[in-house]
Amino acid sequence: MVEGNYYAEYQNFKDAVRLGMPAVVEVVRPEELEGTYKSSVYDYFPEKDVLKLAMPSYKGRLIPLPEGSIAYVKLIDKGAIYVFRTSVISSGKDEEGFFVTYVWTPKKVRRVQRRRFKRIPLVLEGTYKLSEDDTPKKFLTKDFSAGGILMIVSEPLVVGQVILISLKLKDDLYLEDMKSKVVREVRKTPQGDYMYGVMFLNVDPKLERKLVVFTFEQELKSRRKEVEE
């Protein structure tokens, strides 16, 4: 099954989950806790169909979800997201004193395989260099994905050229001298600036997962804003 930029299929939950996987918990009920929170996989009990998650958090604040809360859980893997709807069994401290949340799991989970990284509109200011010793020059992003950016610059670049990009995505996520390649020239802006598609090179798998999560979080924020308006 194809869904936009994704290819979706189902597989056994026990084959998909692994300890330490980053997770996103999107709560839909109760309404007062509705929102998207960070988490990760602590443990899995296949004989009980139970998943033990780090207690969801928002900006460092733990969110204990009451029994019966309904949520969508996204488990983030390299190049794929596993999605399932669940209800909360309990939240609190485990036997080792960690704050955790237990949720029910399905026998099979939807695996959303990315054919390419999802692009989202995003305007941020960053800098780029042509070499390590070069003077940083400013650019603006027009869109962003875990695989690269669409950037606007005042000076022309060359397709195939390798540049070093520095870009602050949020307080705890910063790209510093990220080796990147100019892969296409898009067009000039009405102001006469240049627009290029740029691909990140040699991205560490851990960083790539963080970029995937960041993209997903920004997309959800955009959707919620559209609904509120």
Whole-model pTM?
0.52
Determine how many CB atoms are found less than 10 A away from the CB of residue 59. Answer: 7
Phi, psi of 106, rounded to the nearest 5 degrees: -85, 170
The band of 225, judged by pLDDT with boundaries at 50, 70 and 90, is low
Higher pLDDT, 78 or 227: 78
pLDDT exceeds cutoff 80 at 209: yes
Instruction: State the number of CA atoms in the 13 A half-sphere of 63 facing the CB.
Output: 22
pLDDT exceeds cutoff 50 at 200: yes
Give the model confidence (pLDDT) of 98-127 as tens digits: 999 999 999 999 887 654 567 889 999 999
User: Which is nearest to 84 in space by CA: 115, 50, 56, 116?
Assistant: 50
Tokens, residue 82: 């596993």
